[in-house]
């Protein structure tokens, strides 16, 4: 059976009522003329389709007519066409019309008009376009002297829109539990309940693989300074790295990654860290270091501000590991176990909340566009499954040493 032939484009000079197929054919022909650079003929075809009874078709025709007029240097007529799109009502052409009007306002030096138009565009934009528009709004509000508003827009462009992020919740919970344990008379109870007691883990208290991250320092007299330093360093590291991971992967994935890295670090300590109980979130934080380092090298997220910091992590990791080997009482096994877990997850899991070089594609006019990475469900299942298997194997292998 032969495929149906596309409708023949009607003669745009012929008057009379258009059928739907004819109107759509005129739109397609106008788009082709735009792509080939024949802007005058494109304008003729779009003009012929204006007034069709379907508002969606007329709006698309006005949008194309504005583009043709803009390419012909008729800026005022182009803006008038785009504004006419908005008078029709909400259609799929409303979003690009608002964006075009915003860009025209910037060229005219009307920054207030541009901000208003970009705000309207942002409300209608698909999720992949919103960060770009937020950044444009950030630069415009900065030019208007509103630095605080600009920071809010730039944060929105990075994806930092949550009032209370997972990173903030983790930091708050860790600080509250750690300070209570360090400063209160009941602190010893918290250490006995939450620390990575290797014998208790061997006897089945597996929750300690994660609760260890909530404790720092020691309740013993004379250890207040080192305890606060330990807590402060780890929370500062989490404050720096946590929001980047959350921006790249989202809050829920960040939490899962944090817990997986904590488990990897705790099992490494259980196997190789000696019989002394351990405390601290260092294993999980080294996991975040490894995750960012591997994801940056393998997947190349398009997040310039964050990548400048991530590039420095390799040096920071080496310094901290060397420091750990040179100082007594530091559980380097947890650091290395968390780091290995993070490197594995970072290599396997592409960031899903920011664009990557692999997700970008180039239009015919040379403009880079892109969409967020879509990771098949099988990949995180495999990545986390390997970590889970390693944790179970580590527990099985290390338990005889403590229960014998």
Distance CA 48, CA 183 (A): 79
Distance CA 193, CA 212 (A): 9
Distance CA 382, CA 272 (A): 26
Distance CA 278, CA 291 (A): 23
Six token digits for residue 243: 């929001």
Distance CA 262, CA 282 (A): 8
Distance CA 69, CA 319 (A): 60
How far lies 178's CA from each of 110, 217, 230, 273, 298, in Å?
A: 53, 8, 10, 22, 36
How, if at all, do strands 360-362 and 368-370 pair? antiparallel
Among all chains, which residue has been given the structure tokens 């829109």? 161
Active site residue 299: no
Of 325, 244, 233, 342, nearest to 284 (Cα)?
342
Upper half-sphere CA count for residue 285 (Cβ side, 13 Å): 29
Map 145-170 to HEC letters. Answer: CCHHHHHHHHHHHHCCCCCCCHHHHH
Active site residue 282: yes
The answer to whether 273 and 195 are in contact (CB under 8 A) is no
The answer to whether 262 and 281 are in contact (CB under 8 A) is yes
Among all chains, which residue has been given the structure tokens 């393998």? 298
Residue 255 CA to chain centroid, in angstroms? 14
Catalytic residue among 105, 282, 306, 359: 282
Listed in sequence order, the residues at least 6 apart from 25 whose beta carbon sits closer than 8 Å to its beta carbon are 6, 7, 8, 9, 10
Of 300, 171, 312, 170, nearest to 248 (Cα)?
300
Q: Could you tell me where the DSSP H helices lie in 184-281?
A: 187-194, 198-202, 208-211, 224-249, 251-272
List the catalytic residues: 282, 335
């Amino acid at each position: 059976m032969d495929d149906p032939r596309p409708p023949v484009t009607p003669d745009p000079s012929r008057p009379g009522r258009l059928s739907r197929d004819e109107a759509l054919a005129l739109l397609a022909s106008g788009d082709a003329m735009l792509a080939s650079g024949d802007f005058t003929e494109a304008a003729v075809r779009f003009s012929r389709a204006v007034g069709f009874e379907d508002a969606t078709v007329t709006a698309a025709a006005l949008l194309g007519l504005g583009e043709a007029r803009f390419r012909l240097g008729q800026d005022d007529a182009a803006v008038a066409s785009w504004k006419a799109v908005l008078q029709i009502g909400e259609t799929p052409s409303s979003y690009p019309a608002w964006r075009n009007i915003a860009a025209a306002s910037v060229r005219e030096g009307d920054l207030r008009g541009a901000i208003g138009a970009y705000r309207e565009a942002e409300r209608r934009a698909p999720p992949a376009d919103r960060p770009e528009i937020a950044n444009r709004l950030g630069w415009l509000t900065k030019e208007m002297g509103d630095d605080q508003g600009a920071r809010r827009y730039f944060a929105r462009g990075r994806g930092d829109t949550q009032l209370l992020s997972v990173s903030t919740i983790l930091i708050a919970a860790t600080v509250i539990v750690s300070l209570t344990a360090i400063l209160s008379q009941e602190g010893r109870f918290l250490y006995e309940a939450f620390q990575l007691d290797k014998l208790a883990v061997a006897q089945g208290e597996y929750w300690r693989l994660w609760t260890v991250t909530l404790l720092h320092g020691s309740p013993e007299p004379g250890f207040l300074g080192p305890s606060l330093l330990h807590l402060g360093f780890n929370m500062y590291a989490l404050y720096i790295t946590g929001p980047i991971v959350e921006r790249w992967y989202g809050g829920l994935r960040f939490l899962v990654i944090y817990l997986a890295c904590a488990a990897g670090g705790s099992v490494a300590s259980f196997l190789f860290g000696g019989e002394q109980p351990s405390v601290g979130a260092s294993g999980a934080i080294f996991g975040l270091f490894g995750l960012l380092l591997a994801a940056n090298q393998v997947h190349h997220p398009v997040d310039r501000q964050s990548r400048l910091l991530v590039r420095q992590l390799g040096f920071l990791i080496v310094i901290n590991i060397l420091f750990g080997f040179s100082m007594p009482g530091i559980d380097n096994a947890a650091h290395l176990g968390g780091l290995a877990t993070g490197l594995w997850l970072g290599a396997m899991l592409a960031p899903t909340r920011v664009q990557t070089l692999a997700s970008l594609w180039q239009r015919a006019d040379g403009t880079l566009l892109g969409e967020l990475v879509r990771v098949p469900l099988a990949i995180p299942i495999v990545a986390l499954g390997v970590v889970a298997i390693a944790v179970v194997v580590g527990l099985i292998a290390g338990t005889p040493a403590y229960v014998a």
